[in-house]
């Protein structure tokens, strides 16, 4: 059963569980019109979208509500979009879910720093109840959750930990919204508008086989850096090995402080080790006082390990192939791909190879400022859900 891609407009396209549309139109009205022309059908359950922060977000919200407001609609801004034709910028990618194969619902969290366990339980109960009432498939073993969070909120760890404690084993993935590497404002979309300091929790119930997964291509080196002074709340490290953080990091990677930037951070990541697993703590930027800002939580006393990359696309291909062996070919892979991975691919000139991989494996999603997987906030990973093809006609 094939994935319906934008430009397909026949009766057969109504028999697929997922429809995809992408628009590169700069005008929000034209972009929304095109998405609606490709996605709207009698069986549409809901739409998930990922859009460039270059759009006039107020105008885009109004246009989306005008043309798609009759269905459940949620999404976020990005640091780049992923479509079946590979990486893009300045575009909007959307996925439509067929109610004959999917039940879905979402809730918007308005104040991340005030999100409590009671809030999480209430939201989760509401989403589960919708899935049960829809009758698409049993709840257990047929449900996953996706989170979209303001990527500059510094609240991911708190929110994800709180949510995971009430999800009752439901697998979960997601990503932190981006803003095309400007680091000025990231947004999620729900309830008809874009919001900052907010999050979307989407729950999906389906008869299709699926698997939530996360992978990265980074391997540890011998060099270690101890965080000797940090501000945990602001994710800022002042000292590494009792030296100004930016100076010590620059010494490690062999370049002057003035040359530090996203391209260097992508090639020379740092990670912490927990229970024999390494988790990247990506650097966001250098401050005038030679401190470093990070995308994930950091605190005084942790030991960071220098990491080095292997073949990024080979690692992702290998991970997907192992899932294919279990579930068969993908109907779609919804992916949250760290923007630093995109930078690495662009620096290595691997865009054509990445485009072919995404087309072949039907990968859709966005470049993030952080990834989420089963309660963890991650950096420099590809985290997503592999959705298998239907074994019967809808």
Q: Which of 289, 309, 329 is the last residue of a domain?
A: 309
One domain for residues 200 and 336:
yes
Structure tokens given for 20: 């995809």
Place of tokens 């899935």: 131
Strand order in the sheet with 371-373: 102-109, 199-206, 143-149, 172-176, 371-373, 376-378
Show the domain range for 269: 218-309
Quote the CA–CA distance of 184 and 181 in Å, as a whole number: 8
Give 211-263 pLDDT, tens digit per residue: 999 999 999 999 999 999 999 999 999 999 999 999 999 999 999 999 999 99
pLDDT computed for residue 392 by the predictor: 52
Is 12 within the bounds of a domain? Answer: no
One domain for residues 29 and 173:
yes
The enclosing domain of 225 has a CATH number of 2.40.30
Give 86-101 pLDDT, tens digit per residue: 899 999 999 999 999 9
Quote the CA–CA distance of 118 and 115 in Å, as a whole number: 8
Place of tokens 């011998």: 222
One domain for residues 29 and 159:
yes
Structure tokens given for 78: 């990005």
One domain for residues 59 and 130:
yes
One domain for residues 129 and 35:
yes
pTM for the whole thing? 0.92
Low-confidence ranges of the chain (pLDDT < 50): 1-14, 393-394
- According to DSSP H, which parts of the chain are helical? 28-39, 57-68, 117-134, 156-164, 245-253, 262-267, 312-327, 339-347, 351-361
Structure tokens given for 261: 């930037």
pLDDT computed for residue 15 by the predictor: 64
One domain for residues 352 and 228:
no
């Amino acid at each position: 059963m094939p994935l319906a891609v934008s430009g397909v407009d026949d009766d057969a396209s109504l028999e697929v569980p997922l429809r995809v549309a992408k628009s590169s139109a700069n005008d929000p009205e034209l972009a929304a019109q095109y998405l609606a022309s490709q996605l709207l059908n009698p069986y549409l359950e809901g739409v998930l979208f990922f859009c460039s922060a270059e759009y006039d977000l107020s105008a885009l919200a109004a246009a989306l509500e005008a043309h798609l407001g009759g269905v459940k609609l949620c999404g976020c801004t990005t640091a780049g979009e992923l479509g079946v034709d590979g990486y893009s910028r300045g575009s909007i990618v959307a996925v439509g879910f067929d109610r004959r194969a999917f039940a879905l619902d979402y809730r918007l969290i308005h104040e991340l720093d005030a999100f409590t366990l009671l809030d999480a339980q209430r939201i989760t109960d509401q989403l589960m109840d919708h899935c049960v009432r829809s009758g698409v498939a049993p709840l257990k073993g047929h449900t996953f959750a996706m989170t979209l969070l303001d990527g500059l909120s510094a609240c991911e760890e708190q929110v994800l930990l709180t949510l995971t404690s009430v999800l009752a084993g439901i697998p979960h993935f997601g990503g932190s919204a981006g803003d095309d590497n400007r680091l000025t404002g990231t947004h999620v979309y729900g309830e008809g508008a874009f919001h900052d300091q907010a999050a979307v929790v989407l729950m999906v119930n389906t008869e299709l086989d699926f698997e939530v997964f996360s992978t990265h291509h980074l391997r540890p080196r011998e060099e270690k850096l101890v965080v000797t002074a940090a501000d945990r709340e602001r994710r800022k490290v002042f000292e590494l090995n009792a030296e100004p953080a930016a100076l010590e990091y620059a010494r490690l990677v062999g370049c002057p402080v003035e040359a530090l930037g996203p391209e260097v951070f992508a090639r020379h990541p740092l990670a912490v080790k927990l229970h024999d697993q390494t988790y990247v703590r990506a650097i966001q930027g250098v401050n005038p006082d030679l401190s470093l800002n990070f995308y994930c939580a950091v605190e005084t006393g942790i030991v960071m390990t220098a990491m080095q990359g292997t073949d990024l696309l080979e690692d992702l291909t290998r991970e997907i192939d192992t899932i294919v062996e279990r579930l068969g070919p993908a109907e779609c892979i919804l992916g949250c791909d760290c923007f630093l991975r995109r930078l690495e691919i662009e620096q290595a000139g691997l865009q054509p190879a990445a485009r072919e991989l995404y087309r072949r494996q039907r990968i859709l999603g966005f470049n993030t400022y952080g990834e989420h997987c089963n309660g963890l906030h991650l950096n420099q990973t590809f985290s997503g859900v592999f959705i298998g093809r239907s074994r019967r006609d809808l």
